[in-house]
Amino acid sequence: MKYKFDWKEKIKDEELEKVIEIIKSDRLVLVPTETVYGIAASALSDEACKKIFIAKGRAQDNPLIVHVSDKEMIIRLVKNVSDIEEKLINAFMPGPFTLILEKNDVICDTASAKNPTIGIRMPSNSIIHEIIKKSQIPLAAPSANISGKPSGTCIEDIFEELKDNVDCIIDGGECKIGIESTVVKVIDNVPTILRPGYITEEDIRKVCGNVRLSANLFKKVEENEKVESPGMKYRHYAPKTKCVLVSKSENQIAKINEILLEDENACVIGFKEDRDLIKAKKYIDVGSKYNLEEVARNIFSALRKVDKENVDLAVIEGVEKEGLGLSIMNRLVRACENNVIE
């Protein structure tokens, strides 16, 4: 890392020019978005995108998401946009929403993992938006973490992990949302959610009248199976410590306490309302079970805290798979490597 800029209060013009210079020279910048931090580089350059894969230790067949500043940039990068895709763009961009579209050759093959399609997103965070707008370079920017680890939602969580892997770090404060964007592909004129996020199934139904969920949201994808969205195929969001997820049920707390009786050197990731009901010596509070936006914002930081507790096991309290809860459970199932107690 050659540069570290603090833009929590405002974007500094002189430093912005330096960031654009770094991107134009095919180097890496760690940037905030409204969802999670990203490792950004020019989506037009194979050389730059290869550096992202190296920095993250990311599998080459795991495609990146390309971030743009406006609709005009989308049109330049893709072959066509259908009426229903236009509806989705108008409804959810800018924001935590990614749309899979057929790419033009201007997007490099490394970014798309040699797929004919690419995920396109228009972030609402002012920092990454200004970088893209001023440079007029679309940015490939996967989550800022070593692949497999929990995504980064604040610089403090990821600085040591990534400081030697990027040329510049921009501190924009804590991310507002805390989980990655919803990824959608329109299949047979029906929006299909490949990765759930802050934009929910219900939100999309209000706009399009119909929506499907990918069959892969809660199952392991085979190694030889191609994917068009990140977050589908490999171990994701996981601490080194073994984790088990206890699904929402009437006797959920009793099940958690049973596990704790069997393994005294365990911690719990749970809700503040249940702290006194769960017999854990070490308890990581993710907020209120009645405020899933708060839980989503805290979940990756909580997963990162697990390895600092020096425990054998982390037991995680699940939520209902509806609304934003679907997205939270998708991340937790991946973090637990499908080790789920129903």
| CA distance linking residue 320 with residue 332, whole number of Å | 12
Q: How many domains does the chain have?
A: 2
- Among 165, 194, 213, the domain-final residue is 213
- Among 193, 213, 233, the domain-final residue is 213
Same structural domain for residues 79 and 166? yes
Same structural domain for residues 38 and 131? yes
State the CATH number of the domain containing residue 257. 3.40.50.11030
Q: Which amino acid makes up residue 295?
A: V
Same structural domain for residues 187 and 264? no
Which two tokens mark 285?
Answer: 């509070």
| CA distance linking residue 297 with residue 152, whole number of Å | 11
Whole-structure pTM value: 0.94
Domain housing 48: 3-213
| Four-residue CA torsion sign, 254, 306, 271, 291 | negative
Longest dimension (CA), the chain: 59
Phi and psi torsions of 334, nearest 5°:
-65, -40
Complete DSSP assignment for 58-77: --TTS--EEE-SSHHHHHHH
User: Is 114 contained in some domain?
Assistant: yes
Same structural domain for residues 330 and 186? no
Complete DSSP assignment for 43-55: TT-HHHHHHHHHH
Same structural domain for residues 93 and 170? yes
State the CATH number of the domain containing residue 208. 3.90.870.10
207-215 contact pairs (CB < 8 A, 24+): 207/87, 207/88, 207/91, 207/92, 208/84, 208/87, 208/88, 212/187, 213/326
Per the listing, tokens 């905030």 go with 32
pLDDT tens track, the chain, 342 positions: 899 999 999 999 999 999 999 999 999 999 999 999 999 999 999 999 999 999 999 988 899 999 999 999 999 999 999 999 999 999 999 999 999 999 999 999 999 999 999 999 999 999 999 999 999 999 999 999 998 899 999 999 999 999 999 999 999 999 999 999 999 999 999 999 999 999 999 999 999 999 999 998 887 666 566 667 766 655 678 899 999 999 999 999 999 999 999 998 999 999 999 999 999 999 999 999 999 999 999 999 999 999 999 999 999 999 999 999 999 999 999 999 999 999
Same structural domain for residues 195 and 264? no
Same structural domain for residues 62 and 126? yes
| CA distance linking residue 102 with residue 45, whole number of Å | 18
